Structure 1
């Protein structure tokens, strides 16, 4: 990251040797060009330097254009931002190379900072289909090849279980840099986090607000009131205070700005414990535990 990265966005060093900001903007369901431009502009002003997209979000081209237009406006270059995209589950296996190159071309930003296998299964196959492991292994070999060429600066996975992670680490040439999964106080992911720690993989959160359900949780609201913050800020702070990067999604400029204000306060140990005690293994998003 260059020196123009704002001090409000600390980063983590990935095992691939690149720095990834602890805060990024999620772009799921952001597809209208005007919405994308507005969100990216607001995010850059608020100090975001990471942006998370995916082939299946169908916004890579719009998003790439928005960044190209807006970076100079804010005195920034391509090197100042960290871009993530992901392999569509329908392209798992032999179509992975074509799909990854398509993402590179859609974004049109020269390279992708982090490229993830979005899902351990293949869209056209049943969860228990024995071809799933071979397909994701083939996808991973493709990612390794593109990483070696410098087109993907870091490679990783999303929605993998501990079993998927162990299988990958046993067979890969290049270890995954990141595992991106659902993570919030109701889903503390203890086993997955320890697997990541063991293998030197950065554990990254999505759905930090539990698809919005957790902002009205009584404990979250009480903690927010006591530290004069919004429930969303408290939930995001709970993650980053544990060194877990977050990618909250919003198209609302005020909320984007609010969500960035998570590095100028600290939750007490008591509050952290109260929030972690909400853990009940609850998933608001798709569950990949049945994928062989």
Structure 2
């Protein structure tokens, strides 16, 4: 079954779909199976999990059951997972291998350090930079072994990105952060653009609050689209990969219909003008 989802070229040479299913808070074997089934039917080929989501094993089981249904193989899908903050530092190798085991995969397409801090440590703890460096070295080794095809980070600030770039052997392939019209992350996007790092968004819909933002609703009405489609289109039209989350098959299908229309330059500018540095999720700026 072919997919019409465009992709972005990572510095590893692999291609990552611009659209994937976000799996945060998607729990339970049946719920995961239903969401993955609807996603594959709608053309999704990327799935974003994490150790802290508690659904890696459910995702692995769903893929084993459903890929044959759609005539797909492991190589047809792009799987992302993330290192738990409790495994930051000396337990990073163990944490990454646990993700591989939970997913029951020979390799993970993209593995991210989920958070720049360490669980149980204060954000200002001076051990955080060393723990990050130790985690990255572990991921580099697993990348060299072919177990992690690409490695990257999530929730890093410009300062964290510059620190990593100055001290790593393998540059990160992806940065995944909160991104939507109220939080455009201009400085982070410049850092990624200058270093060839793919910029990937989460919380594209502002935890649902942006679906009733007047300008978003106006543009949705104008284009005959849903507010979610407008928000997702605004991102992918800037070559930003998105990970909308839903367990509802119809919403999954609707969220996937973002590549058959375009926003005008004026539309794009009107959404970008909403930027005020507003975060709906955690703020990593205080993590030393």
Relative to the length of structure 2, the TM-score reads 0.99
- Structure 1 partner of 2:137: 141
Shift of the alpha carbon at 1:18? 0.7
Counterpart check, 1:184 vs 2:180: yes
Counterpart check, 1:90 vs 2:90: no
Whole-angstrom CA distance in 2 between matches of 1:257 and 1:30: 17
Shift of the alpha carbon at 1:31? 1.1
Counterpart check, 1:62 vs 2:87: no
Whole-angstrom CA distance in 2 between matches of 1:134 and 1:109: 29
* SS of residue matched to 2:281: coil
Whole-angstrom CA distance in 2 between matches of 1:156 and 1:70: 28
- Structure 2 partner of 1:53: 49
Q: Runs of 4+ in structure 1 displaced over 2 angstroms?
A: none
Shift of the alpha carbon at 1:14? 0.3
Shift of the alpha carbon at 1:199? 0.8
Shift of the alpha carbon at 1:5? 4.4
- Structure 2 partner of 1:268: 264
- Structure 1 partner of 2:96: 100
* SS of residue matched to 2:105: coil
- Structure 2 partner of 1:109: 105
Once the two structures are superposed, what CA deviation does each residue of 1:158-186 show, in whole Å capped at 9, x if it has no partner?
00000000000000000000000000000
Once the two structures are superposed, what CA deviation does each residue of 1:139-171 show, in whole Å capped at 9, x if it has no partner?
000000000000000000000000000000000
- Structure 2 partner of 1:26: 22
Q: Is the 8 A contact 1:5 1:80 kept in 2?
A: no
Instruction: Work out which of the residue numbers 10, 14, 18 in structure 1 matches 2:10.
Output: 14
* SS of residue matched to 1:224: helix
Whole-angstrom CA distance in 2 between matches of 1:223 and 1:206: 21
Shift of the alpha carbon at 1:16? 1.3
Give the paired residue count: 288
Whole-angstrom CA distance in 2 between matches of 1:191 and 1:29: 29
Whole-angstrom CA distance in 2 between matches of 1:185 and 1:5: 31
Instruction: Work out which of the residue numbers 92, 99, 119 in structure 2 matches 1:123.
Output: 119
CA RMSD of aligned residues (A): 0.6
Whole-angstrom CA distance in 2 between matches of 1:146 and 1:73: 31
* SS of residue matched to 1:97: helix
Shift of the alpha carbon at 1:109? 1.9
Shift of the alpha carbon at 1:110? 1.4
* SS of residue matched to 1:86: strand
- Which residues of structure 2 form unaligned runs of 5+? none
* SS of residue matched to 2:52: helix
